[in-house]
Structure 1
Amino acid sequence: MQALFDAIHSLTPAPDARRIFHGRGGLHAGCEHLVLDAYPPVFVLTSFKSLADEDLARIGEALQARWAEVAPGEPLNWVYQCRHEGRSETQLMAGAVPDPHVVTEDGARYRVHVLRGQNHGLFLDMAGGRRWVRAHVAARPGAAVLNLFAYTCAFSVVALQAGAGRVVNVDMSAGAIAIGQQNHRLNGVEGGASFLPHDLFKTWGKVTRGGPYELVVVDPPSYQKGSFVATKDYARLMRRLPDLLAPGGHALLCLNAPELGVAFLQDQMRELAPSLQFVERVANPAAFADVSDERALKVLVYAAPEIE
């Protein structure tokens, strides 16, 4: 685990939520099961296999020693989550977790919950996608945005901060949508946002009537039984995109499935939405470097044709 200890020994305080160590990227032999994140003022260590008590103790000692150096007098707060054999167990190892727990990213504020569940309320690997949306909408003030699989609505927050005219957020989890509404209030951007806590595939009428949209964000789970399975359901979305987009509009297609490469999206888009042109792949944050770009998070931009 030396690579993890090296990352701990070089960490410094920073205001924004971020990844500190990304063993899952496969670049650090022997650490492929380990991830360390900062959700200030809390560090979250995640292991995808069981850790021995002595290893946990060593990690805790390393965090404590480094924190005493860079933040003297400040308490160390850290949480450990073990995800193994389809189960997850989370425990507070030191300090405390604020309630409510609010973190920042690029000036936006988000509610997070690091002591329950595997998804903490803000996907740190999507920071590049949120920055792309912020810049894209800032250049198109007043844009109408459709945010599919909105989760806690981070894309909506940054779009409205950047000047979007309205954002329609769709997610079948009423609980996630409720946190999304809190995120809008936290950032003072309630106006212009609407929320549909529905199954997208049963809500096409409402979604279509709200269009057309200058930007459609598609960020589904790769596999969620009863909700979305990328290998069969992504195609159903792609067929709809040309009708949802305004002339010259853009779609941001996201996929976090290591077993599915970029071609999974590009080949289907050529077949199912041939009028949309590939523009670029948005770079992932440097902290999420991966041994293979094909395994890493895919965030692709497509554009609809302008009116001739």
Structure 2
Amino acid sequence: MTLPTDAQRLFHGRGGVYPGSEPWALDWYPPVLLLTCYQPVSEAELAPIQAALTARWAELMPDQPLNLVFQHRDEVRADTRLLCGAVPDPHVVSEQGAQFKVHLMRGFNHGLFLDMAEGRRWVREHVAQASATNPRFKALNLFAYTCAFSVVAMQAGARQVINVDMAAGALSIGKQNHHLNGITSDVSFLPHDIFSSWGKINRSGPYDLIILDPPTYQKGSFVAEKDYARLMRRLPDLLMPGGHALLCLNSPKLGPAFLQDLMAVEAPELSFVERVANPAAFADVSSDRALKVLVYQAPDLA
């Protein structure tokens, strides 16, 4: 274990690379370690892990107290508690030069998905390159959550980003993230169910980049197997000629072929460009099971 400056995953048991440790994950949200278990665990099982982390921390940071949060979670709920130390309030972490507000003590999600770090890196590099010759570069960030993609795109030189999410609370944190990074204009936040109406989104287009990062399954709002196709068929009309779409899917049950086959049916004019690699810390014995981040491009004008 090393302790970098940026937030990132330190141990990824869920990838199956470490047999017997599949339920466990360890994340670093400086200055806090977050230990997560995806199956029930007894105090007797937890105690030696906490002891090992305490001992290792004493070697790495002998002059600093250990801040350790534990979360047990399943598909229904998450139980979170502080095992030792403290959690800053507000708690702000960094990634690739950007600042993000996180909240480890409540909810399933913590404000920043660490597995999407390379997706954000791709957006940063792509927007920086494209905006050098296109000063009016515009991006649409669907299922924006706390708007990390938007922060990165604006830092990289985008002229405008429109963030859309049903959760007004998540967008409120997104606004705070933009202010943390000194971004105070040219960003929109729409608390909106895209399936109820595409009017606002259509009127603000077309877009040079569209980011789609929906939940795999969220009852009442999005189910990937039936709803992803509804997003894809909108892309040709929403993209600028030569524009790009970043499609994300985090489902162990659906491989990249699920997205590629759907795109071939729903938006065949878009061409596959690449699959963005996941962070090394998220190594998985099956690339089909791991996070999928695929890049597509609309045709240029003839």
Q: 1:218 aligns with which of 207, 212, 218?
A: 212
- 1:1-80 correspondence runs (5 A): 11-80=1-70
Greater alpha carbon shift after TM alignment, 52-61 vs 28-37:
52-61
CA shift digits 1:20-52 (9 cap, x unpaired): 110100111111101110111000011011222
Partner SS for 1:140: helix
Contact 2:9 2:27 in 1 (8 A): yes
- 1:116-265 correspondence runs (5 A): 116-141=106-131, 142=135, 143-265=137-259
Q: Which residue is 1:7 aligned to?
A: none
CA RMSD of aligned residues (A): 0.9
CA displacement at 1:85 relative to structure 2: 6.3
TM-score, length-normalised on structure 2? 0.97
Q: Which amino acid aligns with 2:151?
A: V
Q: Which residue is 1:111 aligned to?
A: 101
How many residues are matched?
298
CA shift digits 1:209-266 (9 cap, x unpaired): 1011000000000000011000000000000000000000000000001100111100
Partner SS for 1:217: strand
Greater alpha carbon shift after TM alignment, 22-31 vs 171-180:
22-31
Measured in 2, the distance between the counterparts of 1:299 and 1:84 equals: 24
Partner SS for 1:200: coil
Contact 2:207 2:239 in 1 (8 A): yes
Q: Which amino acid aligns with 1:226?
A: G
Measured in 1, the distance between the counterparts of 2:301 and 2:194 equals: 28
For the pair 1:269 / 2:263, whether they are aligned, the reply is: yes
- The runs of at least 4 aligned residues of structure 1 exceeding 3 Å deviation read none
Greater alpha carbon shift after TM alignment, 266-275 vs 57-66:
57-66
Contact 1:13 1:71 in 2 (8 A): no
Measured in 2, the distance between the counterparts of 1:196 and 1:246 equals: 21
